[in-house]
Structure 1
């Protein structure tokens, strides 16, 4: 396990909300101890004591002993991550280091160049948050810069969705249950929905979100990763090469979207004023820090098809929206109807839908049964709840970084293939070929077409 962790952007929201609690969880589980050298770097002109006070405040009024220990172990330095001399001074020390860039994606290229010029000890690793680049060309350039810095095996393009136990359950359910695999194809499945709808609105994230939008923030990475796990062929092993090879196969098989396809098969929208529970939500365009002229979407939907033997005839619908009336975070597998119902008075059977609930964790299957007589159909739902995961998602991410296991990180060619899928949509949206619709906050989204 690597002994040094350097977090650049250590005064940001990502570090406060996820990385520091993740380190506390790793300490609690016995994966890290006092031997981990934790360097926290930011642009604020703070002392280490000031940083520790800030971190303790962000961790809440009643932190655990493990959280206290993480805060006490942190060393803070002021550093411009784009300045090679300041980066070299911050990283001075013995042994390899894991460098976590908890920074806006636009800063990644300059930060990687500075790290290259500063020099990293052999065996070091670099961690980047999504999105990886702004488009395909940007991802290719970022990969070129990373390749000059460290080997591909030492690059961790992290997507914490892949570390969620419920997301891993999608793959686990497929590969460990013989009853599913013979049906897991377009012959038996008509449509698969991959949905991340949330009641949360902007929540003060305009500085990031207004430059990204729902398509880049959720679909280009998180939901395409779920698509890979749902649609991939069974890998030989779950080692990093086998698993990531099969994921790339899926992305390469996604049918390219033309401009006409983007008009017919994609939607974008943003929320108007509304009410969610007891909260009054302003229009997205009126949120603090938003530039209405950018036309940033808070709702995105993309319909894809996969050109291979297994998935011929199946539609994959990826959707994500903010400020909606209900949270819906799931993978819903819609099976085709049976070819014949041998009942005297007909009627309609409930379509079979297998749902992997992502948050909260769960699994359900919609079936049809018969009631008091052979002509009465009764909807049945089988449900199961998952045990809480041993580690939160970001703790699993950090553990993989520290131990050097890249299986759940995004490989360079995989990041590029994901942009290949999304780039035609972005192009069509920039040309205003797809109208920017609107929906009231607290609703189900834009009206159905």
Structure 2
């Protein structure tokens, strides 16, 4: 979340990417690093070392990466002259994470880089590998004294961070026995999205919102992250995870924290993260009765999306034909503190839904006294603040206004801040923001260990109840729908309905 584009702020840096030939590296990490270079953010002394088992030479690997950049970068095809300059900083190291020689070669690279740069660099280890390899890599880094400089060494961990509370605690214990908390960057790309960062800006940089941001004025809050896509080639992983682990435990609870947190004293990373943990600790814990009443799970059946027939979840590749895994989840939360007491927060997420979108809706209470005649307010709607994260990036305030004409007739109108209409130029990808913050040592947008554990702790009663009891109604919603009917009932019981934003275009999730 850096304030200015000044490459002198980035110290000499050497980046080791474990999993250097994987999808994440080719689709996200290297395009993001190249864009940071193009925007003048990279240090003069830079080395990006991709680690993998394939026997690439540096030159062969650079050729592969250029194809990836041309395909996946937000800027499209790379300028050859600029790529030639950048690619001189990119190397490939044939490696085996179980082999001592791998870590000895890393140590030699760091020593040579330090000599060339004339000072000790920031050393970043990016673990773009399956979670089962985290322990092996961190223990080997420690054994070879590659994590000794607490000031300069950082480790980046991709989600999923644990599979449940016990495994998250164990992973935290393992990491914290080698690294200090300020060296650990648990990355969630969702937090790097422009509109997500803008939640903090809208709340705390404008005096008009904060006085209204409480139970006296807000009726309820909805956070909806829906996807048109099914599980695709991720069936094997997804069947172990499900919608709760894949989306709610990390992305959606993060959004809940940003909406519900108290104003931090400053924009220091730990101050912001303390306030987020406070929210999770304030959320009402689920009793067995609450789980029955306030949660809904679903699984999609086959159907048609945009004229194409799509399979049901249980027919997807890698999925158990009798799977009990949820592809949809809706939950009603309460945040038990002075600000939010009694205000329901409704969260939902699902695959194979009618449209792909991520929208936060804050609905304000109705006016205390209606002065207009009933015929004037046929289309009456309570005020809403709608933050659209994707595919459209916008913030809109829905208010009532008089329709033009001789009679007094009111209807809702939108006051819109639209990124595309307000700003020219490309918006940085989430990974660009997060990788730069890693280089600058800014942890504001990264999850802290206690936050991860608090999120798991909150959801474990639901996960345990769902895994312990097979749903007899699965599959219970068809592709291209808005999820199971019970999800509508969950919110309708309180007199509300799920809000959907009419979208100009329909994209899938990034």
TM-score (norm 2): 0.82
Say whether 1:137 aligns with 2:174: no
Say whether 1:21 aligns with 2:54: no
Aligned counterpart for 2:361 among listed residues 323, 327, 332: 332
Deviation for aligned residue 1:79: 2.5
Change beyond 3 A, Cα 1:256–1:69: farther
Which residue does the alignment assign to 2:399?
Answer: 367
Hey, what's the Cα distance between the residues in 2 that align with 1:208 and 1:32? Answer: 35
Helix, strand or coil: the match of 2:442?
coil
Which residue does the alignment assign to 2:246?
Answer: 217
Query: 1:353-380 CA deviation, whole Å, 9 max, x = no partner?
Result: 1101101210112222233467633121
Change beyond 3 A, Cα 1:178–1:13: same
For the 8 Å contact 2:324–2:467, the answer to whether it is kept is no
Say whether 1:376 aligns with 2:409: yes
Hey, what's the Cα distance between the residues in 1 that align with 2:17 and 2:325? Answer: 30
For the 8 Å contact 1:82–1:113, the answer to whether it is kept is no
- Where in structure 2 are there 5+ consecutive unaligned residues? 1-10, 72-76, 112-119, 490-510
User: How many residue pairs align between the two structures?
Assistant: 449
TM-score (norm 1): 0.93
Which residue does the alignment assign to 2:40?
Answer: 30
For the 8 Å contact 2:264–2:272, the answer to whether it is kept is yes
Range that drifts further, 239-248 or 346-355: 346-355
Change beyond 3 A, Cα 1:282–1:218: same
Hey, what's the Cα distance between the residues in 2 that align with 1:417 and 1:67? Answer: 43
Change beyond 3 A, Cα 1:286–1:2: farther
Query: 1:335-354 CA deviation, whole Å, 9 max, x = no partner?
Result: 11122212333656212111
Change beyond 3 A, Cα 1:46–1:204: same
Aligned counterpart for 2:340 among listed residues 306, 311, 315: 311
Hey, what's the Cα distance between the residues in 1 that align with 2:25 and 2:284? Answer: 37
Helix, strand or coil: the match of 1:38?
strand
Hey, what's the Cα distance between the residues in 2 that align with 1:45 and 1:207? Answer: 28
Aligned CA RMSD, in angstroms, stands at 2.3
Change beyond 3 A, Cα 1:50–1:307: same
Hey, what's the Cα distance between the residues in 1 that align with 2:60 and 2:239? Answer: 31
Which residue does the alignment assign to 1:446?
Answer: 484
Hey, what's the Cα distance between the residues in 2 that align with 1:270 and 1:67? Answer: 45
Change beyond 3 A, Cα 1:303–1:114: farther
1:40-59 alignment, distance < 5 Å? 40-59=50-69
Deviation for aligned residue 1:171: 1.2
Which residue does the alignment assign to 1:106?
Answer: 132
Which residue does the alignment assign to 2:117?
Answer: none
Helix, strand or coil: the match of 1:422?
helix
For the 8 Å contact 1:6–1:91, the answer to whether it is kept is no
Hey, what's the Cα distance between the residues in 2 that align with 1:436 and 1:238? Answer: 45
For the 8 Å contact 1:276–1:441, the answer to whether it is kept is yes
Change beyond 3 A, Cα 1:89–1:395: same
